[in-house]
């Protein structure tokens, strides 16, 4: 008798699936064990770092009180600012900071009566340690307070208080402050950081006249500093006996200028050199003798027709051409280019053939200072007469009292929709939160009608007023988002903020509009109002959007080939809805001149 067994082998697919499941299981175990080892390793490094710092602090505690300080710092002492120690074969970097502390118990060096003439009440010793060769990169920080054994005595030294704030006047905490003075013995080379209020208060500082050089920096921020030069707007500081010297510095996030040189047909113009300088100055010159010294001034060449200038400080920038190779026939946006803190601003310089004498005439609205499109500019004198229309400029809404329900922006007082808890009549045309009884609504929104610009454009900045809201309404109580399309009635409007997503909002005027909106014809905006205190409301009185069309500079007219010597020309400017303007302008070289038109 034969018995046949029906045995079936594993298929290739089953083998592959089994191997994959086993691999995932093994990988999970491996990653778990690896993570545990990493946590244990980091913990051991931190324990070692803490032990090393404890040893260093104990050494400081056992020093004579007069020796507790940083070599070359204030207070001066024997401790090094930076040192490297070896433990278990690993290098550890230790940074030490010692500060004189002015305690309010017996009065302060400033702001109290009586003034404390011996403000160095005790010392704060702070040390941080980090192992740059280890996986654990977060520093460990320990500190201790050390008081003198004897009563304090009056000092002939002074105090140096350094305040750091940003472009909006808000304090900058954690800013790195470097102070040096080689006019005193021992020389001072001090490094420290500002507190949460943007202050670094250095007390019991040796007296010295115009010799404390100070520099303020922070990662990702601009730099501000004293300048030891003639006419300096911020010379080195002076410290006098038993007085407080306060000095102020302003830094903020750096941005970028993306500059291109283009021909009138919108193609790149390569290998064009230009000068760029900012309006901020570090030294004043003598009137009609020497010019002011700008904080920023450089010369660049657009090798491929474009160049990026990173780490640019917020400022207003001007451009010129250093040679007779070409002439700037317009700029997008209009000069000066206003770079806000942390923004990336695109700038186009329109290339025109070289002209020994030329005029770039800018026409703005006198109330908003926004560029005016469609203005007729006539320039004339004996033997010369030419009229040019200014380029495109902006769209704007200042009144919402007409109510909602309007799809296309035909009536300038209407809009598309709102949240039904807004007040549009107090004063008439402004947007506020609705008030019921004595309390305002906590939030509300409004969506505009569809703006038709007429052709695809490149958007530049969003501008709105008022610039400031009541503090009680809270931060960012007025926010905006923008949606654009090449269809007047898209399936939906995709509203976005300055980072190109629907989760961000425009909160500062003159913010650069995200590049995703470029080459679009139609626009809608949404405004969001909110308040942290129902007794106060934010409000909006005006909103505008600047833009350019292809390579036509907004609000500008260029007149070239105006002769070979300085000449006086007459101009006449007119535009519908505005009072005409006329006058004279002296054209000397490549001249830029601005005229503001008032509404009728």
Q: Which CATH number do you get for residue 246?
A: 2.60.40
Residue 580 lies in a domain: no
544 and 401 in one domain? Answer: yes
Closest alpha carbon to 402 in 416, 412, 417, 414: 414
CATH number (domain holding residue 450): 2.60.120
Give the whole-angstrom CA distance, residue 515 versus residue 278.
25
Structure tokens at 56: 């260093």
Give the whole-angstrom CA distance, residue 141 versus residue 57.
11
Residue 59 lies in a domain: yes
Give the whole-angstrom CA distance, residue 71 versus residue 186.
9
Residue 572 lies in a domain: no
Give the whole-angstrom CA distance, residue 233 versus residue 280.
10
CB 217 within 8 A of CB 175: yes
Structure tokens at 554: 């907004």
176 and 101 in one domain? Answer: no
Residue 565 lies in a domain: no
List the Cα angle 366/369/372 in 5-degree steps: 85
402 and 258 in one domain? Answer: no
Residue 298: count other Cβ atoms within 10 Å of its Cβ: 11
Give the whole-angstrom CA distance, residue 346 versus residue 121.
53
CB 158 within 8 A of CB 241: yes
441 and 319 in one domain? Answer: no
524 and 417 in one domain? Answer: yes
- Strand (E) or helix (H) holding 1: none
Q: Hey, which residues does 569 pair with through a beta bridge?
A: 585
Give the whole-angstrom CA distance, residue 383 versus residue 100.
75
Q: What is the DSSP string of 187-221?
A: -EEEEEE--TTSEEEEEEEPPEEEEEEEEEE-TTB
Give the whole-angstrom CA distance, residue 48 versus residue 98.
23
Residue 86 lies in a domain: yes
Q: Which of 252, 268, 287 is the last residue of a domain?
A: 252
- Distances 520 to 32, 390, 464, 484, 505 between C-alpha atoms, Å: 51, 21, 21, 6, 20
Give the whole-angstrom CA distance, residue 87 versus residue 142.
18
CATH number (domain holding residue 270): 2.60.40.10
Q: Which of 218, 252, 286 is the last residue of a domain?
A: 252
Residue 388 lies in a domain: no
HSE, side-chain direction, 13 A CA sphere, residue 233: 14
Residues, the chain, total? Answer: 600
Structure tokens at 59: 């050494």
CB 551 within 8 A of CB 507: no
111 and 66 in one domain? Answer: yes
Residue 1: count other Cβ atoms within 10 Å of its Cβ: 2
Identify the pLDDT of residue 6: 55
Residue 200 lies in a domain: yes
Structure tokens at 228: 């030891």
508 and 410 in one domain? Answer: yes
Q: Hey, which residues does 519 pair with through a beta bridge?
A: none
267 and 205 in one domain? Answer: no
Residue 576 lies in a domain: no
408 and 514 in one domain? Answer: yes
Q: Who's near 524: CB < 8 A, 6+ residues apart?
A: 416, 447, 448, 449, 450, 451, 482, 483, 484, 493, 495
342 and 240 in one domain? Answer: no
Identify the pLDDT of residue 451: 94
Give the whole-angstrom CA distance, residue 234 versus residue 282.
7
Identify the pLDDT of residue 135: 72
pLDDT in tens, the chain (600 residues): 555 555 566 677 777 877 888 788 788 787 777 777 676 777 788 888 888 888 888 888 888 888 888 998 888 889 999 999 888 888 889 999 999 888 887 778 887 777 777 888 888 899 998 887 777 778 888 888 888 876 666 678 899 999 999 998 999 999 999 999 999 999 999 999 999 999 999 998 999 999 999 999 999 999 999 999 888 999 999 999 988 999 999 999 999 999 999 887 677 889 999 999 999 999 998 887 889 999 999 999 998 899 999 999 999 999 999 888 899 999 999 999 999 999 999 999 999 989 999 999 999 999 888 899 889 999 999 999 988 888 866 788 999 999 999 999 999 999 999 999 999 987 888 999 999 988 999 999 999 999 998 778 888 889 899 888 999 999 899 999 999 999 999 999 999 999 999 999 999 988 999 999 999 999 999 999 999 999 999 999 999 988 887 678 889 999 999 988 889 999 999 998 999 999 999 999 999 999 999 998
Identify the pLDDT of residue 492: 93
260 and 237 in one domain? Answer: no
Q: Which of 129, 155, 181 is the last residue of a domain?
A: 155
544 and 399 in one domain? Answer: yes
Q: What is the CA radius of gyration of the chain?
A: 33
Domain count, the chain: 4
Q: Hey, which residues does 320 pair with through a beta bridge?
A: 275
- Distances 577 to 184, 365, 371, 473 between C-alpha atoms, Å: 66, 11, 15, 37
Q: Who's near 536: CB < 8 A, 6+ residues apart?
A: 440, 470, 472, 473
Give the residue numbers spanning the domain of 319.
254-354
């Amino acid at each position: 008798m034969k018995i046949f067994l029906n045995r079936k082998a594993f298929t290739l697919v089953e083998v592959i699936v089994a191997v994959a499941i086993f691999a995932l299981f093994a990988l999970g175990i491996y990653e778990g064990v690896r993570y545990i080892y990493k946590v244990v390793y980091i913990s051991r490094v931190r324990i070692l770092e803490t032990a090393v710092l404890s040893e260093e602090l104990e050494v400081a505690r056992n020093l004579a009180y007069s020796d507790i300080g940083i070599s070359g710092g204030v207070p001066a002492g024997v401790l090094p600012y930076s040192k490297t120690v070896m433990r278990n074969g690993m290098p550890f970097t230790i940074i030490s900071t010692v500060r004189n502390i002015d305690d309010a118990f017996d009065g302060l060096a400033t702001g109290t009566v009586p003034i404390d003439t011996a403000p160095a009440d005790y010392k704060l010793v702070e040390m941080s340690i980090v192992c740059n060769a280890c996986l654990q990169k977060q520093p460990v920080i320990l500190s201790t307070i050390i008081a003198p054994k004897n009563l304090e005595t009056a000092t002939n030294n002074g105090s140096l208080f350094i305040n750091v704030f940003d472009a909006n006047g808000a304090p900058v905490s954690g800013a790195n402050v470097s102070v040096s003075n080689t006019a005193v013995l021992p020389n001072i080379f001090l490094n420290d950081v500002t507190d949460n209020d943007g202050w670094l208060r250095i007390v019991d500082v040796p007296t010295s006249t115009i010799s404390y050089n100070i520099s303020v920096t922070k990662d990702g921020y601009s730099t501000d500093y004293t300048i030891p030069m003639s006419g300096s707007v911020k010379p080195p500081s002076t410290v006098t006996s038993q007085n407080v010297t306060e000095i102020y510095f302003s830094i903020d996030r750096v941005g970028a200028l993306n500059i291109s040189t283009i021909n009138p047909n919108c193609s790149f113009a390569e290998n064009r050199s230009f000068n760029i300088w900012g309006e901020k100055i570090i030294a004043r010159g003598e009137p009609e003798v020497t010019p002011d010294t700008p904080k920023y001034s450089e010369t660049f060449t657009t090798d491929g027709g474009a160049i990026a200038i990173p780490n640019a400080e917020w400022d207003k920038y001007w451009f010129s051409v250093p040679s007779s190779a070409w002439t700037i026939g317009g700029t997008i946006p209009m000069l000066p280019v206003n770079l806000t803190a942390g923004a990336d601003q695109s700038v186009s310089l329109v290339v025109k053939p070289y002209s020994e004498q030329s005029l770039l005439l800018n026409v703005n609205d006198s109330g908003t200072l926004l560029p005016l499109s469609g203005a007729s500019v006539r320039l004339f004198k004996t033997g010369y007469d030419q009229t040019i229309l200014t380029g495109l400029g902006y769209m704007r809404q200042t009144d919402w009292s007409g109510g909602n329900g309007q799809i296309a922006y035909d009536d300038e007082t209407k809009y598309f929709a709102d949240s039904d808890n807004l007040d549009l009549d107090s004063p008439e045309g402004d947007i506020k939160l609705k008030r019921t009884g004595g309390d305002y609504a906590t939030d509300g929104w409004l969506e505009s009608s569809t703006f038709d610009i007429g052709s695809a454009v490149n958007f530049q900045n969003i501008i709105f007023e008022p610039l400031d809201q009541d503090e009680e309404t809270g931060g960012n109580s007025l926010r905006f988002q923008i949606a654009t399309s090449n269809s007047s009635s898209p399936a939906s409007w995709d509203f976005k903020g300055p980072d190109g997503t629907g989760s961000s909002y425009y909160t500062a005027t003159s913010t650069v509009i995200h590049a995703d909106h470029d080459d679009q014809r139609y626009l809608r905006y949404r405004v969001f109002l909110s308040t942290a205190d129902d007794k106060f409301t934010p409000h909006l009185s005006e909103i505008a959007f600047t833009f350019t069309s292809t390579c036509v500079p907004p609000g500008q007219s260029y007149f070239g080939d105006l002769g070979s010597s300085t000449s006086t020309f007459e101009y006449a400017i007119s535009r519908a809805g505005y009072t005409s303007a006329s006058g004279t302008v002296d054209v000397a070289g490549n001249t830029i001149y601005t005229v503001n038109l008032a509404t009728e």
